[in-house]
A and B are shown apart, each in its own frame.
Chain A
């Protein structure tokens, strides 16, 4: 089974900061990866698909990159509504797998 290793598990940042989150797959998953945002008490919502494509309606400050085994989610200028937990999800092969999550907190 493919394992997804996400880092960091948490980070503290301020509004306007640039934030980078990384996911590493245990084997090549091409670009079959999405990034999800989850706010407290809510179901997750996808921000990025195919590793680097922005989901419709998602602000352009979110971007994704990578392919193969290394992937990155970047928030170019953190906004108040971006304080949340972020997860990567590989869907290249069953069983699918989430990363462990990154909680973005107020500094």
Chain B
């Protein structure tokens, strides 16, 4: 079945970078856009960015422009999201999700990757 499997939890120091993987199974990663959404502890959902794994085009929320880089490896059917210059406010659960046309449903979602930023 179609699923997205993300890499495991990370603990990072302020100023460091974190790279999260999102591996697709059951379909070819280049077929659909991938979105990244995060959720700080006890807080709401925050849309971060989108990548077209086929063409490479990207879109970002204002808060993440210049700090997020997304890449893909078609040989492993995986998309990566790297967030740099980490600060304590970046402590959150990070999700990847596939965008399905025609009505742009986010489905499925990965299981989430917890990133903790602490000195």
Contacts and interface: CB of A to CB of B under 8 A. Distances in A.
Interface of A: 1, 32, 34, 36, 38, 43-46, 49-50, 53, 55, 85, 87, 89, 91, 94-101
B62 interface: yes
A101 B44 contact: yes
Interface string B61-104: 11000000000000000000000000000000001010000011
Interface string B104-119: 1111111110000000
B32 interface: no
Given A43-B112, A101-B44, A101-B45, A96 B35 contact: yes
A55 B100 CA distance: 13
Given A34-B103, A50-B103, A95 B109 contact: no
Interface of B: 35, 37, 44-47, 50, 59-62, 95, 97, 103-112
Main DSSP-derived SS at the B contact region? strand
Given A43-B95, A89-B45, A98-B46, 20 more contacts: A1-B62, A32-B104, A34-B105, A36-B45, A43-B97, A43-B109, A43-B112, A46-B105, A46-B106, A49-B105, A53-B103, A55-B105, A85-B44, A94-B59, A95-B47, A95-B60, A96-B35, A97-B61, A98-B45, A101-B44
27 contacts: A1-B61, A36-B45, A36-B106, A43-B97, A43-B108, A43-B109, A43-B111, A44-B109, A45-B107, A46-B105, A46-B107, A49-B103, A49-B104, A49-B105, A87-B44, A87-B45, A94-B59, A95-B59, A95-B60, A95-B62, A96-B47, A97-B61, A98-B37, A98-B46, A98-B47, A100-B44, A101-B45
